[in-house]
């Protein structure tokens, strides 16, 4: 039933294509009003299956009656895909989108290329006002190269999502073992002015397990037909229990306006942030950012941002100064199961002392793919180079750094509790520097849950 409707969409024509009935022929061989045929046998009614009966009830708007038929079928050890699909459609008709999403997720894991299922999942997310997940599923549906009429309706839905999105949030909580959470050097001493000096224990690398929390929210109420207010709050923290001297906490706030066009989205915001390391404030900053996003198609998005931030180090005026940065990213949905993101961020940091002023360039490549058994994998590689301007007096040379990082993240979409999915991540980072004090490597593991699908 699902396969035969792959290119058909919603029964009510939401995507512009009518859903076929369970059978094209009439259930009864001849209508009651037909004139009898002399000598012909009496018409015989053809019995219909439970699935066909449930399908007809849903089409007739009697979802509650259909559920009574479908629930025993869905609760079997190995329910049929048709039963799961119809039960999801009945739930959606009753506006029980949480149940519809849960069942459609089970189906999309089994049939990732099923266009009808993915569109229904996207619509359920949309109706539940989970716009991030709705957008993701519509973009993946577009990657199946559907009929032109369906493609245009997907574009319309994506435009509606950008206009309707008012509030979104994300939350991720993990236990995080880390072999070097303070990014300390692997050496025990350094040479200063040609003489060896031992490093304090606080400066050397420390390992342990922390609690990692990342959360954020964005609020975009409409100001006019094409303009919105934009307010955002982001929080992150790594807490290490007894080793509180290495706790790392960040908070940032943005406030501005957002402008919507047919295929463009722009925003200008004022931003502020504050960071604490251990029990004291490390630095804070105030600045502004302008961002422009071009939705080339439902599968391709290009984003560009420019920012200027005045950063103040509470105890180190020689490190304080302006930070200028630009960021460009390209996101392509390759197929219903795969996507890729390319990013580049050049930046320039000014400082009271030229030894702490630098020019840097960071490149990032991310590839995500859905795997069998409900697993999703994301692989991310990052490369950055930093060139400092002035001589670092004690070392007699200007600092040069090269940082490389690789991360693998796995999600299990087959397990979902109150919108959260299990998440496992491993990353390895290495900073190579011509000044040994700043060279380090670290391995970090994370085991937790995330709200993002």
pTM for this entry: 0.80
The model's pLDDT over 193-224, given as tens digits with 9 standing for 90+, comes to 455 555 566 677 788 999 999 999 999 999 99
Higher pLDDT, 350 or 43: 350
- Of 359 and 71, the structure prediction assigns the larger pLDDT to 359
- If you ran DSSP here, which 8-state letter would residue 36 be given? P
Task: Confirm if 316 and 282 have CB atoms less than 8 A apart.
Answer: no
The CATH code for residues 3-21+49-146 is 1.25.40.10
SS3 152: helix
DSSP 337-398: TEEEEEEEEEEEE--SSGGG-EEEEEEEEEEEEE-GGGEEEEEEEEEEEEEEEEEETTTTEE
Q: Is the pLDDT of residue 370 over 60?
A: yes
Residue 10 has pLDDT above 70, yes or no: no
Please, which pLDDT band fits residue 48 given cuts at 50, 70 and 90? Answer: confident
CATH architecture of the domain covering 167-450 = Beta Barrel (2.40)
CB atoms within 10 A of CB 42: 7
CA atoms of 385 and 397, how far apart (whole Å): 17
User: pLDDT band at 363, cuts 50/70/90?
Assistant: very high
Higher pLDDT, 332 or 205: 332
pLDDT band at 4 (very low <50, low <70, confident <90, very high): very low
| Domain parsing of the chain, residue ranges | 3-21+49-146, 167-450
Q: What percent of the chain has pLDDT over 90?
A: 59
Confidence of residue 255 (pLDDT cuts 50, 70, 90): very high
The pLDDT of 100-104, averaged and rounded, is: 92
> What's the rounded Cα separation, in Å, for the pair 156 and 56?
29
Per-residue pLDDT of 406-452, as tens digits, reads 999 999 877 877 778 899 999 999 999 998 888 999 999 999 999 86
Q: From CA 37, how far away is CA 35, in angstroms rounded?
A: 6
Using only C-alpha atoms, the chain has a radius of gyration, in whole angstroms, of 28
């Amino acid at each position: 039933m699902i396969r035969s409707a792959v290119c058909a969409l919603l029964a009510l024509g939401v995507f512009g294509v009518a859903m076929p009935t369970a059978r094209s022929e009439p259930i009864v061989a001849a209508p009651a009003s037909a004139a009898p045929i002399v000598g012909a046998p009496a018409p015989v009614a053809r019995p219909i299956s439970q699935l066909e009966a449930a399908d007809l009830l849903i089409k007739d708007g009697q979802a509650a009656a259909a559920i009574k038929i479908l629930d025993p079928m869905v609760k079997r050890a190995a329910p049929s895909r048709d039963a799961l699909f119809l039960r999801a459609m009945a739930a959606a008709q009753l506006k029980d989108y949480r149940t519809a999403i849960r069942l459609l997720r089970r189906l999309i894991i089994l049939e990732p290329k099923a266009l009808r299922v993915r569109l229904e999942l996207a619509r359920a997310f949309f109706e539940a006002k989970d716009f991030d997940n709705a957008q993701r599923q519509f973009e993946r549906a577009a990657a199946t190269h559907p009929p032109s009429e369906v493609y245009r309706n997907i574009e319309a839905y994506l435009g509606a999502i950008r206009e309707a999105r008012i509030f979104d949030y994300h939350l991720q909580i993990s236990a995080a073992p880390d072999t070097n959470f303070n990014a300390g050097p692997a050496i025990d001493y350094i040479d200063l002015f040609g003489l060896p000096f031992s490093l304090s224990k606080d400066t050397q690398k420390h390992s342990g397990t922390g609690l990692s929390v990342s959360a954020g929210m964005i609020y975009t109420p409409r100001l006019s037909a094409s303009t919105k207010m934009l307010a955002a709050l982001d929080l992150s923290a790594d807490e290490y229990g007894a080793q509180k001297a290495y706790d790392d906490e960040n908070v940032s706030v943005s406030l501005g306006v957002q402008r919507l066009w047919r295929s463009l989205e722009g925003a200008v915001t004022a931003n502020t942030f504050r960071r604490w390391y251990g029990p004291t404030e490390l630095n804070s900053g105030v600045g502004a950012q302008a961002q422009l996003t071009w939705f080339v198609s439902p599968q391709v998005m290009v984003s560009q941002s420019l920012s200027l931030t005045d950063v103040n180090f509470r105890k180190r005026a020689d490190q304080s100064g302006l930070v200028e940065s630009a960021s460009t990213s390209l996101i392509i949905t390759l197929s219903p199961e795969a996507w890729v993101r390319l990013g580049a961020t050049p930046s320039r940091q000014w400082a009271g002392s030229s030894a702490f002023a630098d020019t840097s360039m960071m490149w990032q490549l991310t590839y995500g793919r859905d795997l069998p058994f409900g697993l999703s994998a994301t692989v991310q590689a990052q490369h950055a180079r930093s060139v400092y301007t002035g001589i670092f007096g004690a070392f007699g040379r200007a600092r040069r750094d090269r940082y490389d990082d690789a991360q693998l993240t796995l999600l299990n979409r087959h397990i979902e509790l109150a919108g959260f999915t299990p998440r496992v991540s491993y990353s390895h980072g290495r900073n190579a520097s011509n000044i040994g004090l700043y060279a380090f490597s670290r391995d970090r593991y994370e085991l937790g849950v995330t709200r993002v699908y």
